[in-house]
Structure 1
Amino acid sequence: MVAPALLDPKQENNKEKIIEDYEELEFQIFRMQENMKEIAKKWNVLGIDQTRKENWIIIYASDDGNVCKIMAHDCNRPFLGKWDFSIHAHYKDDYHVQIDDIRGEENRGYGSVCMKFLKEYTMEQNVHTISGNISDRDWDHVDRLVHFYKKHRFHIDIEPTDKSGKIYWTP
């Protein structure tokens, strides 16, 4: 005798998973609303996006005309005034931004989302070039940096003997 589909344990597990996913998403959306209110009090909210692990993050900027920071906050946690990930850059001139540092936890998808927003933001500011340096202190993770910048269509020039390099991107 075949059990009806409603009593099938596999479907019951699937139903529980759907309910669990829905409740988690609902909680992230609620948290996102609260976080957006707090972030918008001090910074320019650029948008929201999902990481490759499907976490919702808020992307926001601080820009005083000299230093530009594109920051991300994961909506799995309340916003307590600190970013989860940040790309720090400065304006070399009106049409050129140089990345000074990328800070935050790796392999979470934050970097790719922040880079996408940095490119969009700089183009809106009529900036035509994003550049950066790879220095000796980056050398222990240079392969990851090269992969990251290639993925985002940067031109990369590495000097292994000097343990240095340059990156640049133009639209």
Structure 2
Amino acid sequence: MINTAFLEENKSKHDIKKELDSLEIQLFRMRQNIKEIAKRWEIISIDQTDADNWVVIFVDKADDNCQLMLHDCHTAFRGNWNAAIQAEYKDSNTIHIADIKGEQNKGYGSILMNHLKELAHEENIQYITGDIVERDFDHVNRLKHFYNKHRFEVKIDHQDQSGEIIWNEG
């Protein structure tokens, strides 16, 4: 286990200043980004990635679908998100994930998935489902790992290049 107190003590003044400058810029951009995002969408949270980047999470809900979106505060918001989960309400008990889009290896998908599960909980929705389709099979092992990490049951048929995921609130 790494002794974080030891690492903190051994950071140079330059490294600490660099971190503080980055945080100050992110907080300034966060304030500006929230103003712009709130003009069109409902902001549901701010969060932080594993790399300590601040992000704004916002949602667009319609009658039978919703889109959770995320914007990283390292850049100014210009109307585009960095990652999104598109989902539809199948019935009063189920949200079905239609697609997850955005930059990979930044933790955005995990942040959005946690907020989708929180949304399901708040709306008393018991299941989140999704399909794994042929176009996903170039990264199917990565998908399986991602969904397992988020406590989904993952069923994959490698021969037919298809699969399904199910998360149960219970």
> Taking structure 2 as the reference length, what is the TM-score of the superposition?
0.91
Q: Distance in 2 between matches of 1:78 and 1:90?
A: 29
Alignment of 1:45-60 (within 5 A): 45-60=43-58
The letter for the 2-side match of 1:112 is S
Alignment of 1:116-131 (within 5 A): 116-131=114-129
Structure 1 residues 13, 155: CA separation in 2 closer, same or farther (over 3 Å shift)? closer
Of residues 25, 28, 31, the one that matches 2:29 is 31
Aligned position for 2:6: none
Of residues 56, 65, 80, the one that matches 1:82 is 80
Tell me how far 1:65 sits from its aligned partner: 2.2
Q: Percent identity?
A: 46
Tell me how far 1:13 sits from its aligned partner: 7.1
Structure 1 residues 160, 14: CA separation in 2 closer, same or farther (over 3 Å shift)? same
Structure 1 counterpart SS, 2:164: strand
Q: Which has the larger radius of gyration?
A: 1
Stretches of structure 1 that go unaligned for 5 or more consecutive residues are 1-10
Stretches of structure 2 that go unaligned for 5 or more consecutive residues are 1-8
Tell me how far 1:40 sits from its aligned partner: 1.0
Q: Distance in 2 between matches of 1:14 and 1:27?
A: 20
Q: Distance in 2 between matches of 1:71 and 1:133?
A: 20
Q: Distance in 1 between matches of 2:167 and 2:72?
A: 27
Q: Deviation digits for residues 17-41 of structure 1, max 9, x if unmatched? A: 1111101101100100110111111
After TM superposition, where is structure 1 displaced by more than 2 Å over at least 4 residues in a row?
Answer: none
Aligned position for 2:95: 97
> Taking structure 1 as the reference length, what is the TM-score of the superposition?
0.91
Alignment of 1:131-146 (within 5 A): 131-146=129-144
Structure 2 counterpart SS, 1:19: helix
Aligned position for 1:164: 162
Structure 1 vs Structure 2 CA RMSD: 1.3
Q: Deviation digits for residues 108-166 of structure 1, max 9, x if unmatched? A: 11000000001001211121110000001101000010000000000011111111000
Q: Deviation digits for residues 73-106 of structure 1, max 9, x if unmatched? A: 0000000111100000111012211000000011
Q: Distance in 1 between matches of 2:161 and 2:11?
A: 53
Tell me how far 1:66 sits from its aligned partner: 1.0
Q: Deviation digits for residues 12-65 of structure 1, max 9, x if unmatched? A: 970111111101101100100110111111111110111111110001111112
The letter for the 2-side match of 1:167 is I
Q: Distance in 1 between matches of 2:10 and 2:149?
A: 41
Structure 1 residues 29, 155: CA separation in 2 closer, same or farther (over 3 Å shift)? same
The letter for the 1-side match of 2:136 is D
Aligned position for 1:7: none
